[in-house]
Amino acid sequence: MAKTILIVDDSASLRQVVSIALKGAGYDVIEGCDGKDALAKLNGQKVHLIISDVNMPNMDGITFVKEVKQLPAYKFTPIIMLTTESQEAKKAEGQAAGAKAWVVKPFQPQQMLTAVSKLILP
Amino acid sequence: MRSSATFPYFATPFGLGLLAAGLLLGLAGADAVNLGVAATLALLGGLAGRWLSGRHGAALAETTAARADVEALTGRLAGAQAHVDSVLALGDDLAPVWARQIETGRAQMEQAITGLTGDFAGIVQSLDAAVRASSAAGGDAGQDLAGVFARSETNLGRVVESLHGAVRHKEETMAEIKTLLDFIGELQQMAAAVAGIADQTNLLALNAAIEAARAGEAGRGFAVVADEVRKLSTLSKETGNRISAKVDTINTAITGAVRAAEQTAASDAQAFDTAGASIHAVLADFRGLAEGLAESSGILRRESEDIQARIAGALVQLQFQDRVSQILSHARDNIASLPGYIQAGGTDVHADGGVRAIDTARLLADLERTYAMAEERSNHDGDTSGADDSEITFF
């Protein structure tokens, strides 16, 4: 059975780009347009990995990661931050919030798939 | 104008001097001393008038110059006010237009790229489905077909070998049957020998009968025996003849059967050869088909890999929309905040006539705080070296 990945980004085109790469590798994908929307989409659904943007309206990525880590069902769900931000201070914020990896856009699909396969839950 | 205006300032002291001189002379008398004092008073009056007139003229000139300066300053102030008003208009009218235009461009680009990405996703999905279908038909099936071909070739090879074996077996059977013809020849000779022996026995029986007749009464019993022997020889000859006839019949039957079998064997051999040739032809066609499918499968696989590489490249390029959108959003928000900064200075002008400089440093600092990308920061510092390379950091 295919594993499910949640993509959180306010850019619809970016969500589609990530989705194409992941679906091509056989993963199922669900999407959220910001942190708040993504929390609503989780709603108990089994998710094996989360890929989240940082700068988003309503709820930014760092806050979203902190919120997810508070949920028992998703406490150990690995999270990859996918963002244009490359400052070390921001990366440190992501790491402190509980993210497992930091990918700077634009990403190479194969690199992303390697990171996903390395981190995704069995 | 100036002389007529300054005249009272000269005439008044001078007139007072003359009046004092006249009063002195009238009251004290015109002696030499009084005349001298009167002349001095008149001279002093004239000098005072001249000095006062000069001072007035100078003051008048300074006043005129000051008025001109005031008029000039008033004109410059009006110009400055017009400039401040135009800067306010820049903030109130132009900056929102710039912000709206940037936002419209950004939104249209995002909409178009989102649509484009959606179409691209559809194309990728269709291509993927086509490649999967083709792989199922020509890829793995091509490999399976090669296996099926190999197994079919082996099995059909066994069939051909069995056919050849059957032909050989028939030929051996025919050879065995042909050896029977040699036995039939021997049987015919034996039948002829039996007939010959019967003839000789008959001749002997005839001679014995003659001798028995010559012996008279004593040979009567021998004559009976000779007659029985003659009858037996006759029977033997008939039996030999029947054996010979039967052998001929058998010979005819076997010869006919051998001929028929030979014809059948030739026909079978031809049929087997035809069947073998057909099997080889089918296998050759099958091999060509399998090789063609395997080749098509290889081409398809290579094309599929090439398409996958191009898709990966396109996915990287499509992500730049997100970067461009963010840069435009940050510029849009900063331009939208510009009227507030301008208004802060403009309000002061209208409130108390003072002019305060726009806080450009703060405006730039606000803009810098919104940056997400290294290239925005490098652009801010005047370095347009370009975008970051993709990178992954594991925590």
Chain B hits for A99, Cβ within 8 Å: 395
Chain A hits for B326, Cβ within 8 Å: 55, 84
Sort residue B216 into left (φ over 0), alpha (ψ -120 to 50) or beta: left
Distance from CA of residue B11 to its chain's centroid? 108
Q: Which H helix or E strand runs over B292?
A: helix B220-318
CB contact under 8 A, A17 and B392: no
Chain A hits for B114, Cβ within 8 Å: 11-13, 16
pLDDT score, position A66: 97
To the nearest whole Å, the CA of B80 is away from the closest chain A CA by 42
Q: Which H helix or E strand runs over A104?
A: strand A101-104
CA-wise closest residue to A101 among A36, A35, A52, A32: A52
To the nearest whole Å, the CA of B92 is away from the closest chain A CA by 27
Summarised one tens digit per residue, pLDDT across range A89-103 is 999 999 999 999 999
If DSSP codes are grouped into helix, strand and coil, which group holds residue A26? Answer: coil
For each successive 10 residues of chain B (395 residues), what is the average pLDDT? 73 91 87 89 91 91 92 85 81 87 90 88 83 67 71 85 84 84 86 89 90 88 89 89 88 87 84 85 85 83 85 87 89 89 65 69 88 85 65 88
Chain A hits for B116, Cβ within 8 Å: 13
Chain A hits for B128, Cβ within 8 Å: 24
pLDDT score, position B355: 66
pLDDT score, position B1: 45
To the nearest whole Å, the CA of B326 is away from the closest chain A CA by 9
Compute the count of residue pairs across chains A and B with CB atoms less than 8 Å apart: 108
CA-wise closest residue to B320 among A120, A14, A28: A14
Mean pLDDT for chain A? 94
Q: Which CATH superfamily is domain A4-116 in?
A: Response regulator (3.40.50.2300)
Please tell me which residue of chain B has the smallest CA distance to A84.
B373
Q: Residues of B at the A interface (Cβ-Cβ below 8 Å)?
A: 110, 113-114, 116-118, 120-121, 124-125, 128, 308, 311-312, 315-323, 325-326, 372-374, 387-388, 390-395
To the nearest whole Å, the CA of A63 is away from the closest chain B CA by 17
CB contact under 8 A, A14 and B392: no
Strands A101-104 and A4-8: unpaired
Chain B hits for A11, Cβ within 8 Å: 110, 114, 321-322, 325
Neighbours of B356 (CB within 10 A): 11
Neighbours of A56 (CB within 10 A): 24
CB contact under 8 A, A101 and B388: no
CB contact under 8 A, A107 and B390: yes
CB contact under 8 A, B113 and A13: yes
ipTM: 0.89
CB contact under 8 A, A24 and B124: yes
CB contact under 8 A, B395 and A55: no
Summarised one tens digit per residue, pLDDT across range A23-40 is 989 999 999 999 999 999
Nearest by CB to A20, from B113, B121, B374: name it.
Answer: B121
To the nearest whole Å, the CA of A41 is away from the closest chain B CA by 21
Neighbours of B365 (CB within 10 A): 10
User: In the predicted model, is pLDDT for residue A17 greater than 60?
Assistant: yes
- What is the DSSP secondary structure assignment for residue B390, as one 8-state letter? P
CB contact under 8 A, B392 and A55: no
CB contact under 8 A, B394 and A95: no
CB contact under 8 A, B390 and A100: no
User: In the predicted model, is pLDDT for residue A114 greater than 90?
Assistant: yes
Kindly give, in sequence order, each residue whose CB lies less than 8 Å from that of residue B295, ignoring residues fewer than 6 positions away.
none
Chain B hits for A16, Cβ within 8 Å: 114, 117-118, 120-121
Kindly give, in sequence order, each residue whose CB lies less than 8 Å from that of residue A90, ignoring residues fewer than 6 positions away.
A54, A83
Chain B hits for A19, Cβ within 8 Å: 121
To the nearest whole Å, the CA of A118 is away from the closest chain B CA by 10
Strands A101-104 and B391-394: antiparallel
What is the arithmetic mean of pLDDT over A55-79? 95
**Burial of residue A85, with CB atoms counted within 10 A of its CB: 0-12 exposed, 13-18 middle, 19 or more buried:** buried
CB contact under 8 A, A84 and B120: no
Nearest by CB to A101, from B118, B326, B395: name it.
Answer: B395
User: In the predicted model, is pLDDT for residue A62 greater than 70?
Assistant: yes
Chain B hits for A89, Cβ within 8 Å: none
CB contact under 8 A, B372 and A105: no
3-state helix, strand, coil in chain A (%, to 5): 45, 20, 35
This prediction has a pTM of 0.62
Apex CA B97: angle with CA B96 and CA B101, to 5°? Answer: 115
